[in-house]
Amino acid sequence: MKRVTIKVLLGCSALMLAGQSCTDLTETTYDVIPTSGTFGSTAAQQAALIGPLYNGLGDYYGNMANLNTTTDEQIVPTRGGDWKDGDNWVRLYTHTWDPVTDNGQFNGPWTWCYNNITSINQQLGTLSDAKTKAELQALRAFFHYEAMDLFGNVIISNAVGAGTPKQSTRAEVFAFVEKELLAAYPNLSDVSGGAYYGRMNKYVADMILAKLYLNAQVYTGTARWADVVTRTNNVISSGKFQIVGDFFSNFVTQNQNSAEIILATPFDKSKRTGFRPQMQNLHYLNQLTYNLGTAPWNGFATVTEFYNSFDDKDIRKKMWIVGPQYKADGTPLLEDGGVPFAFNPDIPALVLPAGAVGRMAGARSQKYEIQKNNSFTEQDNDFVVYRLADAYLMRAEANLRLGNNALALTDVNVIRKRAGMPDFTALTLDDILAERGRELAFEYHRRQDLIRFGQFTKAWRFKPASQSFRTLFPIPKDQLSLNPNLKQNPGY
């Protein structure tokens, strides 16, 4: 059991909640713990009350994992009858999702954002301590930012109130998120790790603002590259974080002490469940490879061309499992009919027939260490939302777009060096996008990156070019029914 994650979230009993299933993204609402008597009258007591509100942050992983199938780094082939699921995964991958048929895929992330915003609003009204209020203000801004990024014109909810809330433009939500973070910033802690692991502090706020500014041209039509540099400078120059020598140490089972992590969502295989990439990624027979208590589901893989974008000398290429597979004792594994079991990075079709060839198709992610001898379906790794390498790459991109090529090269080559790759001597925007892909694969920044670089609607393996309106997901049908003030995004 992890010795840090439960304690750092203030001993919250809400961490006993179960995670999401692999296909049902509908969220369950959990109320905040009510105050009683005089509890909550001191700053320390008020800080303790916010612990349950961080539980919702853990569902970042569950919501983003499925939506990553809309990118060129993740594919969920239909393998005979497996992962058919009404062709849900095919529609996500080919950008042909339907707002009615696929309502559940989008209602889950929407309710994840707004259920958490509602809980924060309820608690904020009871607080007087400035530091505690600032922390919740930043957390609320994060959920608004995520809603805006996914759905565009969404609701600004900054108080508990009756009636049906109005829909705001994406630019208005952008301005609200920026204002909230800047207002909270002076009262946020400058402590990283320890009691502030997995919580909002100045550096997390800087990262949210950097992401906001990095994509400002998409969100508002006005670029904010210099502001990206300012915010990433705050993080990089703070001295609180460092690029660790071992890339994979950021993702090991006990990764909570990595000096590179700026924000992670803590998981524990029995206390705060919901993190199970081994179940999504691995073949059924890999249960014998890692001595797992449950057979994996043989679902998620990476797109062939994305796998091939890694040089063989790139240390990060080891995040993919390819080739022959073995039992824990070293005995070769065999598929049906005695076929040697080996993962083939080449995926011949999006819809594959039943049989060994289809089941073994696709390189599988082991970026997050697979927990061996694990009798649970959940793992203990914490999911990394923001880390220092991303700050370097964001600053590099912003500087390159500003014409500061030498500064951009320096930052990118910090990341290249750790990966065992030679320095770039010249740099293009295409290089930046490719390097972000190799560094941040399966950390769920890819959709946003592809949109910013104008690549999201282009054709790739098994996916034809898609319409420009697909850069936004549809407002969920359930939400349109509940709130007549909401208007569907164009194209849907």
Q: What is the pLDDT of residues 170-222, one digit of tens each?
A: 999 999 999 999 999 999 999 999 989 999 999 999 999 999 999 999 999 99
Is residue 20 predicted with pLDDT exceeding 90?
no
409 lies in some domain: yes
Same domain, 387 and 367: no
Q: What residue spans of 188-269 are helical by DSSP H?
A: 202-214, 216-220, 225-236
Residue 426: both structure tokens together: 């010249």
The number of distinct structural domains making up the chain is: 2
Four-CA torsion 42, 48, 52, 55, nearest 10 degrees: 130
Domain boundary among 441, 471, 486: 441
Same domain, 331 and 401: no
401 lies in some domain: yes
Domain boundary among 365, 382, 399: 382
27 lies in some domain: no
228 lies in some domain: yes
* Phi then psi dihedrals of residue 98, to 5 deg: -115, 135
180 lies in some domain: no
Task: Identify the domain containing residue 315 by its residue range.
Answer: 277-382
Band of residue 314 on the pLDDT scale cut at 50, 70, 90: very high
3-class DSSP state for residue 141? helix
Phi-psi region of 18 (alpha: psi -120 to 50; beta: other; left: phi over 0): beta
Within 10 Å of residue 333's Cβ, how many Cβ atoms?
A: 17
Q: How far apart (Å, rounded) are the C-alpha atoms in residues 405 and 208?
A: 24
pLDDT of residue 142: 98
Same domain, 283 and 315: yes
Is residue 26 predicted with pLDDT exceeding 50?
no
Same domain, 378 and 293: yes
Residues near 434 by beta carbon (within 8 Å), at least 6 away in sequence = 309
Same domain, 250 and 193: yes
Residue 420: both structure tokens together: 């065992």
Same domain, 283 and 261: no
367 lies in some domain: yes
Query: Each residue of 221-233: pLDDT tens digit?
Result: 999 999 999 999 9
**pTM (predicted TM-score):** 0.92
Residues 475 and 320 sit within 8 Å (Cβ to Cβ): no
Residue 239's CATH number: 1.25.40.10
Same domain, 310 and 374: yes
pLDDT of residue 187: 98
Same domain, 317 and 369: yes
| Measured CA distances, 327 to 75, 141, 165, 331, 339 (Å) | 26, 47, 56, 5, 15
103 lies in some domain: no
Same domain, 284 and 356: yes
> What single-letter amino acid sits at 268?
D
Q: How far apart (Å, rounded) are the C-alpha atoms in residues 28 and 30?
A: 6
pLDDT of residue 50: 85
Is residue 9 predicted with pLDDT exceeding 90?
no
292 lies in some domain: yes
